[in-house]
A and B are shown apart, each in its own frame.
Chain A
Amino acid sequence: MSAPVIELQSVSKMFRSADGHTRTVLDNVDFSLREGEVVALLGQSGSGKSTLLRLMAGLVSADSGAVRYRGQPLHAPARGISMVFQSFALFPWLTVQKNVELGLEARGMPAAERQERAESVIALIGLAGFEGALPRELSGGMKQRVGIARALVTEPEVLLMDEAFSALDVLTGERLRDDVLELWGSGRLSTKAILVVSHNIEEAVMMADRVLVFGSDPGRVRSQLSVQLRRPRDAEDPDTRSLVDEVYMLMTAAARRPARAVVEASLAERLPAADVAQMDGVLELLAEAPFSGRADLPQLGEETELSDDALLPIAHALALLGLAQLEGGDLQLTGLGRRYVDGDHAHRQEIFGQQLLAHVPLAAHIHHSLQQEAGGELPDAPFLKLLQERLDEAEAQRVLQTVISWARHGEVFEYDFNTGRIALPRSDEPPDGGDAPAEGPR
């Protein structure tokens, strides 16, 4: 086995929330990035894969354990490690040339040499002629090319790519990915290893020699898969397809809920951020031909045109609510799910509400608390606080928003944005009357 370039040894990372609670983002992670390999890191949002990447970039430091680069402890960003960002992170007031030169300028390289090296990398990445352009004149794909050129010009040993293609449209993303792979394969780069953080399963399989699936709460490597397909790879090749299926299976298996002893933990569960209308759409599609009740997730993704980071939460949410089942990378409609699809709007609402109260402890708890109030009304702040004890602020907000949008759909409780109060739906109101429903089914 070749020598490790970056090594992580039992690394843990905690974040402290505003009210003093600590939350473990990474728990005891061991990982090494070796010479000559491309590793892809897959996981749901909030699973800590981004934190792991930033640890390896020297941008954040570990609370325990060691991060080593070429055997030496990594305290801060190092010269041999370069990074490509999701939102490109170009300096909008600098020309393409100056953006690419940035890292060289920081090293104190003379202007002439800087210019020469930047020009050659710009030509390599296919942007020759655009040296004088400002980033705002370029399309997304070209901007990311600049981002890659800027990372490569310093001749890094390690290239870290943080969701580098996810802000681009599918076609542009694939083309850029293939170009990077071609450069990597051609041996013209000084780069010895690449780490790709992604939520796109196909992208990971197409690029990587090794795929790591990350589990959340706390983040750790759940499973590893080595990809030994020959390059260049073909997305339609049966071997590739079966590997993609396998990764889907690993990803969905990761979501199966472990038995929990502590009630508090289940209240602050990280609910999948699934949109109600999209859940309805996926269920309907699932019920129809050609799937007629059971679908392979990658195929479903293609049919719905949803990306993996949108489809997987929906699948998880449906499984959580008992409307569908996840099995071996397939999504299967349950009997209840079938009745849900066949029902009319009121019927759907009823089923959804029942399932929500039965399977989502947070929703049940909010509903229970509201019932004890004379006015059936409570501010959202105490619930947010409860969530913040286990989740970080943004995540807590998101979970509360998710449960509110689900509850609105199931008519379990309502929420007034202006007052920030959660309330039971008024029973004297006819179910379809009143103001327009906030979250219609379609």
Chain B
Amino acid sequence: MQRVRQFLLRPSVEAGTNRWDWALLPVVLAGVVLLGWGASQMATPFQVGEPLPLSLDPVWLPYYLLRTSLRMFLALGASLVFSCVFAVLAAKSRAAEKVLVPLLDVLQSIPILGFLSITVTGFIALFPGNLLGVELAAIFAIFTSQAWNMAFSLYQSLRTVPAELQEAARVFQLSGWQRFWRLELPFAMPGLLWNMMMSMSGGWFFVVASEAISVSNQSIKLPGVGSYIALAIEQRSLAAVGWAIATMLAGILAYDQLLFRPLVAWADKFRFEESGGEDAPRSWLLAWLRRSTVADRAAGWFSRGLERSFTWFAPPHDGTSIRARPRMAAGRWQRAWDAAIAAVVMFAIARLFLFVHAEVGYAEVAHVFMLGFFTLLRVVVLIALAALVWVPVGVWIGLRPRWSGRLQAVAQFLAAFPANLLFPVVVVALVRFRLDPDIWLSPLMVFGTQWYILFNVIAGASSIPTELRFAARNLGLTGWLRWRRYLLPAIFPSFVTGAVTASGGSWNASIVSEYVSWGDTTLQARGLGSYIAHMTAIGDFPRIALGISVMCVFVMGLNHFLWRRLYRQAGERLHF
């Protein structure tokens, strides 16, 4: 009997399906068919200038949502692959690290829309006569809003794998491949997932901008929720905006329930802190999948395949072989590499001066820096205002455990919500009441990003040790003293985390929020964001580049001189 079974394929013998499988089967099949069909729509013939059919009829919205979420999913996948390659290269090779880490630092401070205006022509040229080029440009734009923080998080995690675990991996002679899957990726998983969720929020926020692309004075609107919104704004249809908001909420909810929640629940086992205690995150989908034998078998098949792959990379030689001898670091190569980097930097600086000299002129540069200061002022003032409002609220919520769990989730959700959907309302109001756009457009910048402050403060306040709370009450701390000596220091680290994210997001949002339109009314606030948006609209390439570079300088400066210091201070002095 044993013999026969081995010759037959396993599934045909042990046909052990259960009712969960039957429930799962149609869902999976329908999902596969939908995704396949959506994907096939991406590669239809297309010529630049040819109008794409787009309708404001809400009947089309489910289809648009499918297209949009497919794009976001592909971008997320690309970001994941990019992050792995980047992080492994940067963490394992010092030569690569020297170039890659600063490069990423610059890349992540480039406004997302900047990428789109620069790359879209290239992508279209890549697939002439096909929609795929435009699709790829849109996916790339979403990718740029997702990839950088994921890559950084993974890189940081790889650098901070505990020394004893690394030693254990070496003593037991794990190959690089095995170490990545067994040690490094699992260790990085919680941070990576968290950043994936943040990235997804960023992606939703910019979906309008990345689907409605203007290239060579033509506007291409890819079928999707983002384009639907763009069209609704053009045609001043408030009802359509309402429908779009509902659709987007459904999309965010679906991503949360179908992708992130199961992932978070599954990744709970990768928590490195060994203490239990907290409630493990739950997901109905994961519970469902775990009950299904088919899913179980698929997971088993995958993990067995992975395990088998470990054996391919086992090093053939032992530590006593000459091949295990560490190669001396060749000082000459290192110096040559440093020299090469220096040469490229010099060359770039020279080109930059030439560019400024020939294309835009120094007066323009000074003007753009001036605009940058306006935007900087807006960012700083608004973050401060948001902090004034949300810190007390966050602390109040955080100290009440019954509220904090639920409201934290709501705040996280609000952060994912594309605030630019509400911009039209603001335009209408500003025009009606004749308000100064220089001042009254500013709040839009933090509209979507203030929630980061709120939910981080909630998290910080709810993790204040109970004993400290009792002590504060016991000492009778009240009023300002209570805030200065107890609450503010206690939440400071998490506030800084939230404020860093909010500040980065606000810079990015300035491009959308300083230049807002509703039909043919366009309101503009003086600032760097509106400069870039305006130059993009009229297609002035050198000035787009100038605006982006200046914004990059501002963001990096702010990061280095303010946030990083506060961060370090928070880590060193104010830590439980």
Contacts and interface: CB of A to CB of B under 8 A. Distances in A.
Q: How many interface residues does chain B have, given as a range?
A: 35 or more
B326 interface: yes
Contact of B311 (A72, A94, A108): A108
A78 B314 contact: no
A107 B173 contact: yes
Contacts of B251: none
Nearest to A101: B307
Interface string B296-319: 000000001001001110100011
A87 B269 contact: no
A15 interface: no
Contacts of A150: 172
Contact of B319 (A78, A86, A134): A78
A83 B168 contact: yes
A89 B167 contact: yes
A93 B272 CA distance: 8
Interface string B150-190: 00000000000010110110111111001000110010000
B320 A91 contact: no
Given A102-B172, A106-B172, A94 B164 contact: no
Contact of A94 (B173, B182, B322, B573): B182
Contacts of B307: 105, 111
A94 B310 CA distance: 15
Interface stretch (A54-62, A268-276, A307-315): A54-62
Contact of B269 (A57, A73, A77, A93): A93
A434 to B, nearest CB: 18
B6 to A, nearest CB: 14
Is chain B's interface secondary structure helix, strand, loop, or mixed overall?
A: helix
Interface in A45-100: 54, 57-59, 61, 69-70, 72-79, 81-83, 85-87, 89, 91-94
Contacts of B314: 106-108
B269 A102 contact: no
Interface string B309-341: 011101000111110111000000000000000
Contacts of A222: none
A58 B319 contact: yes
Contacts of B288: none
A271 to B, nearest CB: 23
B270 interface: yes
A225 to B, nearest CB: 29
A92 B274 contact: yes
B171 A57 contact: yes
Contacts of A54: 167
Contacts of A83: 167-168, 171
Interface in B25-40: none
B170 A59 contact: yes
Q: What bracket does the count of chain A residues touching chain B fall in?
A: 35 or more
A135 interface: yes
B274 A135 contact: yes
B17 to A, nearest CB: 24
A207 to B, nearest CB: 21
Contact of A61 (B171, B183, B311, B326): B326
A345 interface: no
A91 B320 CA distance: 27
Contacts of B318: 78-79
Contacts of B162: 87, 89
B326 A76 contact: yes
Interface in B418-471: none
Nearest to A153: B172
A75 B326 contact: yes
A186 interface: no
A91 B186 contact: yes
Given A75-B319, A87-B164, A135-B274, A154 B172 contact: yes
B271 interface: yes
Contacts of B172: 77, 82, 102-103, 106, 150, 154
A135 B183 CA distance: 15
B276 interface: yes
Interface of B: 162, 164-165, 167-168, 170-175, 178, 182-183, 186, 269-272, 274-276, 304, 307, 310-312, 314, 318-322, 324-326, 573
Interface of A: 54, 57-59, 61, 69-70, 72-79, 81-83, 85-87, 89, 91-94, 102-103, 105-109, 111, 134-136, 150, 154, 417-418
Given A92-B271, A108-B314, A111-B307, 18 more contacts: A59-B170, A59-B171, A74-B319, A75-B319, A76-B319, A77-B170, A78-B319, A81-B319, A83-B171, A85-B167, A91-B182, A91-B183, A92-B269, A92-B274, A93-B269, A106-B173, A106-B314, A108-B311
21 contacts: A57-B171, A58-B171, A59-B167, A59-B170, A72-B320, A79-B318, A83-B167, A85-B167, A87-B162, A89-B168, A91-B182, A92-B272, A102-B172, A102-B174, A103-B172, A105-B178, A105-B310, A106-B178, A106-B310, A111-B307, A136-B276
